[in-house]
Amino acid sequence: MSPDPRDAKSLDREIEDALKGVDLQALSESDSGPSGRSGPRRGAGAERLYDGTIVGIHGDDVIVELGPKMQGVCSLREFENPPTVGDTNRFTLRGRDEDLWLVSIRAAQELASWDDLTVGSLTKARVTGQNQGGLVLKIGSHDAFMPTSQVAAERNFDASSLLGQTITAEVLEVDRTRKRVLLSRRKIEERERMERVAEAVGGLASGTVMSGKVTKVEAFGAFVDIGNGLEGLVHVSNVSRKRIEDLSTVLTPGQEVKVMVLDVKDGGRKLSLGMKQLEPDPWDEVSHVLSVDQQVTGKVTRVAEFGAFVEVLPGVDGLLHVSQISHERVRDVSRVLKVGEELSVRITSIDPSSQRISLSRLDPRGAVLGSEDSVDSGTIDSAMQQNKGNIGTNFGALLRRAREQK
């Protein structure tokens, strides 16, 4: 994945803000020159490495043969280990003192180490101090700086906890002219996090059940942290098989939940999770509890132009088509039915395989259920059975008799 140029611009702004008022060249004072002489004087060959052989040691002065008719002197204090005549080392020129060149083994080591500092490389650095812009570090003899924004990926991280520690950091910038080295610890943490995410995503598949913690609740759903830097969305429609009016009454940040992975997209950047998939499916019980022509009491859950959805069992809605609401024509369903209203409906068809139930607010004879004109079909059938042999009895008389039996 190529870096986003916007991220680079943002990083540049962060660094510039962090470096305001910070003098990187003054982070530490330069050592004095050899044998108490003045500090280094830049001249020809100051940025060049020379091979030299030690030919003599006199007090604090180490005499170095740099080539034919070219000798230099280096302070004994610059050597980490006592030198001996015949040793070969690399030196840089710091200036002249009469016929001798002033040379430095320490500066040569520093110059050589610059070659190891390249943008993007990793280096060990010791945290030596802290200022308002970030952390001051040492890479060998080099001074370095780490802006506060680059200390850690974690927000509100206490940068002072790293004081005195040797850490691994990524080189952001190297400017030898200005003796400027900028480092980042955050980039390493972010790269490690992405590696963990990639490994975790590789083990995810639709149907995987995991434990997670709710991090945020919105009207459209809840975000759940499932670990390893992965966070997914449980859409409100996938929280429960029961209708939810206000998700915040069901889920709260910090709550531990069980979720099922429904879909993985964009390398784990988009995770769809579900909770209702782990609940028993109420449709499994529909055929055992409900039957065609049965009258039930339900609650209106949604009103549409073509009708209304009525919950007849917890988590099970049926469709009450606009043509089945009244024996009169209904032009605007919302004027007749309201969400939350309870009403009696009759089941006209059940299709468990497609999870569809058709409802009617009319009895088999077309009267609105619960009205004076409505009579239970069983009551009418019973009255007709009683008058099976009486051909002269008309339907109107049977209907009146059925009403009297109610």
Q: Note whether residue 270 is domain-resident.
A: yes
Same domain? For 156 and 210 the reply is no
pLDDT given at position 338: 92
Distance of alpha carbon 235 from alpha carbon 243, whole angstroms: 13
Q: Which residues pair with 88 in a beta bridge?
A: 53
pLDDT-derived band at 41, boundaries 50, 70, 90: very low
* Across 60-74, 113-127, 145-159, 245-259, least confident range: 113-127
Letter string b/e over residues 110-139, b meaning 16 or more CB atoms within 10 A of that residue's CB: ebeeeeebeeeeebebbbeebeebbbbbbb
Same domain? For 126 and 181 the reply is yes
Same domain? For 144 and 269 the reply is no
pLDDT at 315 exceeding the cut of 80: yes
Q: Range of 226's domain? A: 203-278
pLDDT at 159 exceeding the cut of 50: yes
Same domain? For 298 and 354 the reply is yes
pLDDT at 406 exceeding the cut of 70: no
pLDDT given at position 109: 77
Same domain? For 235 and 218 the reply is yes
Q: Note whether residue 56 is domain-resident.
A: yes
pLDDT digits (tens, 9 = 90+) for 264-301: 887 667 889 999 988 888 888 888 889 999 999 999 99
**Number of independent structural domains in the chain:** 4
pLDDT-derived band at 337, boundaries 50, 70, 90: very high
Same domain? For 65 and 174 the reply is no
pLDDT at 184 exceeding the cut of 60: yes
* Mean pLDDT of all residues belonging to the chain: 81
Of 57, 77, 112, the one marking the end of a domain is 112
Token reading at 54: 């030690």
Same domain? For 18 and 136 the reply is yes
Beta strands at 316-321 and 356-360: parallel, antiparallel or unpaired = parallel
pLDDT at 44 exceeding the cut of 80: no
To the nearest 10°, report the CA torsion of 97, 99, 104, 105: -160
Same domain? For 9 and 156 the reply is yes
Q: Cα–chain-centroid distance for residue 148?
A: 22
Q: Note whether residue 176 is domain-resident.
A: yes
Of 254, 278, 302, the one marking the end of a domain is 278
pLDDT given at position 360: 93
Distance of alpha carbon 183 from alpha carbon 121, whole angstroms: 10
Same domain? For 143 and 13 the reply is yes
Ordered DSSP codes for 333-385: HHHH--TT-EEEEEEEEEETTTTEEEEESB-TTSPBTTSTT---HHHHHHHHH
Ordered DSSP codes for 23-71: -GGGSSPPPP-GGG-------TTTT--EEEEEEEEETTEEEEEEETTEE
Of 131, 158, 190, the one marking the end of a domain is 190
Q: Which one has a higher pLDDT value, 140 or 94? A: 94
Q: Note whether residue 380 is domain-resident.
A: no
Backbone dihedral region of 134: left (phi > 0), alpha (psi from -120 to 50 degrees) or beta?
Answer: left
Same domain? For 186 and 222 the reply is no
Token reading at 171: 């080189």
pLDDT digits (tens, 9 = 90+) for 4-32: 445 556 666 666 666 665 555 554 443 33
Q: What is the CATH number of the domain that holds 12?
A: 2.40.50.140
Same domain? For 176 and 239 the reply is no
Helix (H, G, I), strand (E, B) or coil at 132: coil
Tell me what percent of the residues of the chain surpass a pLDDT of 90.
Answer: 40
Q: Note whether residue 53 is domain-resident.
A: yes
